[in-house]
Amino acid sequence: MLQVLLVTFPFFALVLAGYVAARRRMLPLEAIPGLNGFVLFFALPCMLFRMGSTTPIAQLLDARVIAVYLLCGLLIVAFTIAISLNRRIRWNDASLGALVAAFPNSGFMGVPLIVALLGPVAGGTVILTMVVDMVVTTSLCIALSRLDGAGGEGRAAVFAAGRKALRGVLTNPMPWAITLGGVASAWAFRLPGPVEKTVWLLADAASPVALFTIGAVLARAQMTANHPMPLSDYLPVSVIKLVVHPLLVLVVGLLAQRLGLGLSETALTVMVLTAALPAASNVSLLAERFGADNGRIARIILVTTAAAFLTFSAAVTWLT
């Protein structure tokens, strides 16, 4: 356990550094969107391209990983919505809460952390889970969040939200970076030397800046929250994210192996560890955009990020 904590500590320490910097105003809150922009449009796509281009194409097209991870994500979404809906929490808040329960922080945190723990062989599986979460889980939850409407207007809102989610996927540079990386891997293509060096430098910047930005985003969300909230509104979803989700992936993965589907031990371990990550910080931006209770979402992200230092490290110790 101590060895695992020595590996995970720097990653969570960078999150804490970003949190402290924003809380103490050493980093102006107005600068956070700029950091987000750098990570989302420059550093992280370069890191994903590098990882995709250096990963065997067969690993990037593993249908067994996609099927197991997608099934678990859908079950988590359905279960979280079912236990969340009440007089105060309607479809909009319940659906975005379900997304934050099913969508781990695989981009900003998972890729560098899990690769550091398990080696480059883990990269392709983490990338596949990201594609599932960005394309399917996010689009589904955004569509479900529009069900608060009634009759034909409600259905129209669902379809409009689905189209908006699809546009979001198409304009998101990360899926394109993964796709281009996969194509480069399949064709054994390498960028020209100076271009490759530039891309690699940006890729190296992704992990520290992304982790620092997570902390700053969490601090901003906490500082701008303007109403108290009962623990029952966000603590159960936090437990689902950190405990139920990885256990479900483990159980479904073991069943897939029992059925002879050929899911490798390495892929299953990577999927479970990915599911054990804290909630994705970008869901807070989606909650704000679609008018959900962003204070609730921010609390879930904050609780899971703080607790994951121990729960994720325990999962690594148990599985490896």
Question: Which of the four pLDDT bands, split at 50, 70 and 90, describes residue 132?
Answer: very high
Q: 48 versus 150: which is more confidently predicted?
A: 48
pLDDT at 37: 87
pLDDT at 157: 61
User: In CATH, what number does 2-319 get?
Assistant: 1.20.1530.20
Q: 304 versus 224: which is more confidently predicted?
A: 304
Question: If phi over 0 gives left and psi between -120 and 50 gives alpha, with beta otherwise, what is residue 263?
Answer: beta
Burial (CB < 10 A; 0-12, 13-18, 19+), residue 57, is middle
Question: Which of the four pLDDT bands, split at 50, 70 and 90, describes residue 158?
Answer: low
| Tokens read off for 288 | 């704000």
pLDDT digits (tens, 9 = 90+) for 29-56: 899 889 888 988 899 899 889 988 988 8
Q: Is the pLDDT of residue 226 over 70?
A: no
Q: Phi and psi dihedrals of 205, rounded to 5?
A: -80, -15
Q: Is the pLDDT of residue 166 over 70?
A: no
Question: Which of the four pLDDT bands, split at 50, 70 and 90, describes residue 245?
Answer: very high
Residue 154: CB partners within 8 Å, gap ≥ 6?
146, 147, 148
Domain ranges of the chain: 2-319
